Amino acid sequence: MRSEIGTRSIRLTRPRWADGVLLVLLIALTFLPPRLIPAGPKGDTLVVRTSGSVFEVDLTDEGPHPIDGPLGEAVLMVRDGKAWLQNAPCPLKICEGMGPIDESGEIILCLPNRIHIQVAGSGGVDAISR
């Protein structure tokens, strides 16, 4: 099969088995790197910033911790060294969907309610976006 493009001619060939192997390798490399990156160091405290205050919560202090924001009260839950946000008064509840955090540098943001929660600890990356 020949295709004419302008004045040049391009010869199209059938895919070979090596093309298939290359395609499979490229797809595998797309999904493997996030799993190969080692987990960061575990944090020991949470730094909670709201529009009016900054305070710390220890990750060993299990249970609900109410946080007041401009839209109302959200609940920071801590269990098994992990923390997540529950009952946020924001309309889309994206902050609740961010899931639990426990590694140094991870954050939970509730922008409508102006709440910023970050795991503090030694080492780790500056920030992780989900």
What's the token pair of residue 55? 């305070």
Distance between CA atoms of 64 and 83, rounded to whole angstroms?
10
- Model confidence at 55: pLDDT above 80: yes
Q: How many residues does the chain have?
A: 130
Nearest Cα to 46, choosing from 112, 121, 100?
A: 121
- Model confidence over 25-52: pLDDT tens digits? 998 888 776 666 666 788 889 999 998 8
Beta-sheet strands, E only, within 44-102:
45-49, 54-58, 63-69, 72-79, 82-86
Nearest Cα to 86, choosing from 74, 99, 102, 78?
A: 74
In a domain, 9, yes or no: yes
The pLDDT value given to residue 108: 96
* Section 65-79 average pLDDT: 94
Average pLDDT for the chain: 85
Provide the whole-model pTM. 0.66
Distance between CA atoms of 69 and 121, rounded to whole angstroms?
25
Q: Domain check: are 68 and 104 in the same one?
A: yes
Q: Domain check: are 79 and 26 in the same one?
A: no
CATH at 106: 2.60.320.10
The pLDDT value given to residue 64: 96
Q: Domain check: are 109 and 52 in the same one?
A: yes
Percent of the residues in the chain that have a pLDDT greater than 90, as a whole number: 58
Q: Work out the pLDDT band at 23, boundaries 50, 70, 90.
A: very high
